[in-house]
Structure 1
Amino acid sequence: MTNRLDIETREASETEAYTNLPKEIKDKLEWFQDQKLGVIFHWGLYAEAGIVESWQLSEEDEWARAKKPWRNSVSKLREDYWKLNKTFNPKHFDPITWADLCKDAGFKYMIFTTKHHDGFNMYDTQYSDYKITSSDSAFYDNPKADVFKEVVDAFRSKGLGIGAYYSKADWYSPYYWVPGQHAKGRTASYDPLEQPEMWKKFKGFVHDQLIELAKNYGPLDITWLDAGWVRKERTHEDLDMDGLAKDMRVYNPEMLIVDRSVGGDHENYVTPERKIPDTPPVKVWESNIPHAKNWGYVPNDIYKSDKEMIASIIQVVAKGGNLIIGIGPKPDGTLPEKSVYLLKTLAHWTKTYGEGIYHTRPFKQNSINQWYLTEKDQSVYAFCIPERDQEQYTLDLTKLDTQFEEEIIDLSTGEKAKVEDDHLIHHSKEIKGYRLTKNLTTVSQ
């Protein structure tokens, strides 16, 4: 199996602490930690091609073409990819259905790809003609052509938080991959220190677009910035994030800005990708895990089981994080059948167990063997994730260093759980959760 090499990492991001957070951002981070569960949609021209997002465009990212190159040469691939806007026509796009499914599933916020690295804009930007609302795009005359607006309106009407994914790189922009220059990889085709006027144009373009999103589609709860290689220290690609953040927050002072894998004041929370960290980051954090192998839609993709996704929710939340689940809509605008099935499964599961997920924080012992624990007010929640070949597990309550009321509730039935000799008994191959109530008169000091 070909390994994905698209993940930008910076270990310091997971160990550094906050400095000088404004009160509005501190409060918003508390709100964020209460939400726990979100969805992120990767949708664009790459769904039409059925390939691993836009990564095949990058010459040096050979891993993306190793298994099945979309075209035989990078030059031909780019030529044909840039034309996909002429055939990408998601006539069955129904954002209200998406929003209904996601709300019922228990998602509390949504992040949508306004622009991936390929530079194709899924909203009506005024700073690029390479957009879904342009007259040379197949979908431009559809009433729902401003896709991001339609998604934002639908999800906001259902009470979900709104996030905008935006790639700081833009491989279509003549200010990033300059025509006539050899764009070798994911970075700009030139060194900004050697061509400062060209970089100034690109920086202005990025500023204009991000302010446009904050102004016209807000209030945005989250601006989720991808392309972590776009940073001064690594590639000389300095976007003046101090100035940009200030200008964006004119439209929402409490907006969370997530300059992924860059660190510093503008990575308001960190985003471990495709993993649950062994050691939780110091900052507030959010694991992002796609439902399928790929973020965007790829025909015949491999999807994770419902049980695996539910286990990830529990494990992330027990460690104090949020989880966003990635779903890649199909080129016709519908969601993949397996993802719809997952959403319907989560709808039942979150209604049953959500009290042990939302608004919780980690218990002081967040895991013991197959048990994962969260805490809220006077309640502690114990979730058991059985292994395949075993169906009975016990949780030694004396090891929790907390005194509990005698009655422990099985959340799936609302009935009293089985307890023997200070051991909570779980006898099932299914993932289940239990509510323990602290005995406030005898809590250990």
Structure 2
Amino acid sequence: MRIMKQGTGLVMGVGLLLLCGAAVSANTTNYEPTWESLGNYEAPEWYEDAKLGFWVHWGVYSVPAFKGDHAAEWYGRRMYQKDGQSQFNRAYAQHRHHLDKYGDPAEFGYKDFIPMFKAENFDADLWADLCIRGGAKFFTMMGVHHDSFCLWDTKLSKWNSVNMGPKRDLVNEMAKAVRKRGLKFGVSNHSAWNYMFFQWNHINQYDAKNPANQDLYGNPVYPKELAEARFREGETRGEWFERARNTVTPSQRDLDRWLARTKELADMYQPDLYYFDWGMNPPAFESRRKEFAAHYYNNAIRFGQGAFGSPNVVLNYKNGSTFKPGSAVRDFERGGMDQIAGMAWQTDDCVYDDHNWGYVPDTPIKPTNQIVDQLMDIISKRGVLMLSFAPKPDGTFPEEQKTMMYELGDWLEACGEAVYSTRPYVVHGVVGEQWGKRNEHGVKLYESTIEDVRFTRNKANSVLYATMLKWPGEKLVLETFKGVDLSGVKFVSLLGTDGELLWEQTEAGLEIQLTKEPSYGMAYPIRIEFETRIPAPAKTMPRGERK
């Protein structure tokens, strides 16, 4: 009997172990909507190799194409804000413009721009070709912005580009064109902030009060004391702004609708990258954020893209607290990391300066060399750049934006070896005094000097690329290699040119004699090939290994 008990206990123990093993196996096969499970994630190699992707801000807001004193893609929010209903009255320009050009928002609302968004000259194949011509390795299509007008054939709302406006599934057309050319395809979803975006439409009782428009304008919960939307006595504009922002909340319907549409977009097009703006940051979205992440990663596993731990897709998030570190890819809007990161990350930026992202006629764009300099800074720290362009409402790109794509592509054709499939060196480079300073609006400026150098290397760690962001003249001195044994240097050259460069090791570091400045005229990568491995700078090498 005792033996039977022992045997039974053994059998039960083995059974429990088998059950536990089965549970562990299940948990390591598919993701669960918990931070612990989602933490089993790594960014895909294709993404870290790509370095550059293109993106667009394109939608109904491209029709009015008026930024006033903020951003063109925010026209739908600010056209409803009356004088006194914004911090520093910033929105009054859009409201006044709307009154002058289109009339009272009660009579001509944001929804009335939709028939004017026709995309009559949109050519997905041409867009994909421009993406390749510009040197990008993935393309992210705008799926839906804050305005909640969907650019795909959603079955969850009548407010979409198949039922209205273009009468086309714009996301699907781009997905097919991009993948046909061997590029990765992403989607962009900003709809979480829809509850806040049309806040003033609701408060001022314009066309958002009509129940038929709720799937476009949302169903936010806001306090009655904000109905007048005026400042309290003694209240500063900043205090009022915080009060207004913090008291307007998404309704249960807004939250559920966001999750349903977000899943649908993933299910229909199986994107390799899914980008989110900051609208889903509030705590009310947390359970849904986790639910979607598990759903998206599991989809990738189900469709054969990857496996648990490495689903081979990218999920972007904006705020450090929105997702736990290591559960998705951190994105920085017009910014980035200051140092080399332990995991791939992303900068999203635009060809326009300041806050604007949507198309506005006759608005200057950044010089291409500034974009190239920013790209080299980002990738030197293990980042990826997703660069947004702004098509016209008919689906064509302004000529100056196409010119930038051509110039960027030409530079990458000559110098892409220092970009694609590279990894950060031990240090990311030498940063000049002007780099990363902020202007009066708080926006970082990426202005390089002859001091600025950024490092990348090949995966084999045998070739180092030292990219000069400005042409230094006849000689480059890399002080990073002061005191380092450089006897293993095999060949030094300048990408995009022929021949070997003369170099020597001096007390100052590695001195390289430069010839004539190359014709491509921006960001000049020096290629330094070693016999074996690239040596580390003396100051970063472990004690006992110093040369």
TM-score normalised by structure 1 residue count: 0.82
Q: Secondary structure of the residue that 1:415 maps to in structure 2?
A: coil
Q: Of 210, 228, 245, which residue of structure 1 is paired with 2:262?
A: 210
Residue of structure 2 in register with 1:196 after alignment: none
Alignment of structure 1 residues 364-443 onto 2, 5 Å: 364-368=426-430, 369-376=451-458, 377=460, 378-386=462-470, 391-396=473-478, 398-399=481-482, 401=484, 403=486, 404-421=488-505, 422-426=510-514, 428=517, 430-440=522-532, 443=535
Distance 2:533 2:183 in 1: 39
Distance 1:406 1:346 in 2: 30
Q: Does 1:244 align with 2:285?
A: no
Q: Which amino acid aligns with 1:381?
A: Y
Q: Does 1:227 align with 2:256?
A: no
Contact 1:176 1:189 in 2 (8 A): no
Contact 2:223 2:248 in 1 (8 A): no
Q: Secondary structure of the residue that 1:90 maps to in structure 2?
A: coil
Distance 2:286 2:463 in 1: 47
Residue of structure 1 in register with 2:395 after alignment: 333
Residue of structure 2 in register with 1:265 after alignment: 324
Q: Does 1:90 align with 2:112?
A: no
Contact 2:340 2:424 in 1 (8 A): no
Residue of structure 2 in register with 1:169 after alignment: 193
Q: Which amino acid aligns with 2:525?
A: G
Change (3 A) 1:400 1:239: farther
Change (3 A) 1:164 1:239: farther
Q: Secondary structure of the residue that 1:272 maps to in structure 2?
A: strand
Q: Which amino acid aligns with 2:318?
A: R
Distance 2:222 2:36 in 1: 41
Query: Structure 1, residues 248-301: CA drift from partner, whole Å, max 9, x if none?
Result: 334213232223214323861111211344345554311111012321111111
Larger displacement relative to structure 2 (313-322 or 262-271): 262-271
Q: Of 329, 348, 352, which residue of structure 2 is paired with 1:292?
A: 352
Distance 1:178 1:50 in 2: 29
Contact 1:257 1:268 in 2 (8 A): yes
Contact 2:493 2:527 in 1 (8 A): yes
Between Structure 1 and Structure 2, the one with more helix by share is 2
* Residues paired across the two proteins, number: 408
**Aligned-pair CA distance for 1:430:** 4.2
Q: Secondary structure of the residue that 1:251 maps to in structure 2?
A: helix
Q: Secondary structure of the residue that 1:365 maps to in structure 2?
A: coil
Contact 2:463 2:530 in 1 (8 A): yes
Q: Secondary structure of the residue that 2:189 maps to in structure 1?
A: strand
Distance 1:392 1:441 in 2: 28
Distance 2:534 2:293 in 1: 49
Q: Does 1:114 align with 2:114?
A: no
Q: Secondary structure of the residue that 1:323 maps to in structure 2?
A: strand
**Aligned-pair CA distance for 1:129:** 1.1
Query: Structure 1, residues 153-198: CA drift from partner, whole Å, max 9, x if none?
Result: 1111111111111121224636434799878789698545xxxxxx
Q: Once superposed, what is the RMSD of the aligned Cα atoms?
A: 3.2
TM-score normalised by structure 2 residue count: 0.67
Contact 1:289 1:324 in 2 (8 A): yes
Q: Of 125, 128, 139, which residue of structure 2 is paired with 1:99?
A: 128
Distance 1:442 1:344 in 2: 33
Residue of structure 2 in register with 1:41 after alignment: 56
Gaps of 5+ in 1: 1-17, 193-198
Residue of structure 1 in register with 2:205 after alignment: none
- Give the percent of matched residue pairs that are identical in Structure 1 and Structure 2: 21
Gaps of 5+ in 2: 1-34, 199-213, 230-240, 302-310, 431-450, 537-544
Contact 1:176 1:188 in 2 (8 A): no
